[in-house]
Amino acid sequence: MTSFLITGAAGFIGYHLSRRLLEEGHRVTGFDGMTSYYDVELKRARIAMLDKIGGFQLVEAMLDDRPALQKAAGIAMPDVIVHLAAQAGVRYSLEQPQTYIASNLVGSWHVLELARELRPAHLLMASTSSVYGANAKVPFCEHDRADEPVSLYAATKKGMEVLAHSYSALFHIPTTIFRFFTVYGPWGRPDMALFKFVDAIERGESIDVYGHGAMSRDFTYVDDLVDAIVRLIPVVPDPCCATPGRCPSLSPIAPFRTLNIGGGRPVGLVEFIATVEQCLSRKAVLNMLDMQPGDVPRTFADPSLLQALTNYVPATSVQEGVYAFVEWYRSYYGRSRQRPAARAA
């Protein structure tokens, strides 16, 4: 049995990862600020599901609360730390930039300080494909430059990556950074495009289609993402080898790696909407709009490193994943039909 400390445990990905680890018999201490960025009741429902499994304890506090973070560490005595807590959302970063600095940079630094003190066997931290910006080279590879982010959200996540590398090099903390590619599935966030599309179509309302539909995303079903993370937990970066092709670490000076978690199969936005319509058996009314500031035209993962390390690549089709989300949405909201609190996607 392994003891985990998971920040953002009430979040979409944090819930799914915590549930998987608990079902495998591990202990999980969650840490979450329960912010009002989106429907807090959805977060509490996730936590209630985790409580039913057993072996789970939540410390509810913000990442800038160092004593609370220390309390969570004292409860967990973690072998592994998984840092998923973050302020998400590209467009919301234009409205509330200070929350991104506080959470994604300062909050992540607090987690790094905790890891320096505790020396876990493995520190795993969530980043995003948004760090690649509008990179013209596809597919996006971990060796590509990611120094030209086009949103504050991406800039803060890249800043977190750089901070983590320095801590890994200075204090020899084995660290893996995940770059997630458009994760979706049941219990997803109300600010994500899939949630907003399904919610609007079910109500007979129009959906906003940015970039006039001329965008594509490398969608990753949440169960596939969790499978990849679980497989990577025991694959600890090796600090001693810098020879390309012979070492899983991408840093020549630290036990540190950055890697994509994505399937490498981008889907166009128009095709994605058609899949949503098919799964709902309803047509959408499209409100075509220009590209939003901070958006990128496409994301496209190169999963070669993930496959080399785990012999695994996310493979759930968008058709399967969207159908699973629709089934969950109708089950969860079917009775009250209350509109979820959502931000702009």
Q: Active-site residue numbers?
A: 153
- β-pair type (175-180, 56-60): unpaired
Phi, psi values for residue 277, rounded to 5°:
-60, -45
Report the helix count and the strand count for the chain, using DSSP H and E: 12, 13
Q: Is 82 left (phi over 0), alpha (psi -120 to 50) or beta?
A: beta
Tokens of 199: 């919610």
The Cα-based distances of 124 to 7, 48, 180, 258, 259 in angstroms read 11, 25, 13, 10, 11
The Cα-based distances of 280 to 7, 189, 202, 212, 324 in angstroms read 34, 19, 8, 22, 11
Cβ burial, residue 268 (10 Å; 0-12/13-18/19+): middle
Q: How many Cα atoms sit within 13 Å of 62 on the Cβ side?
A: 12
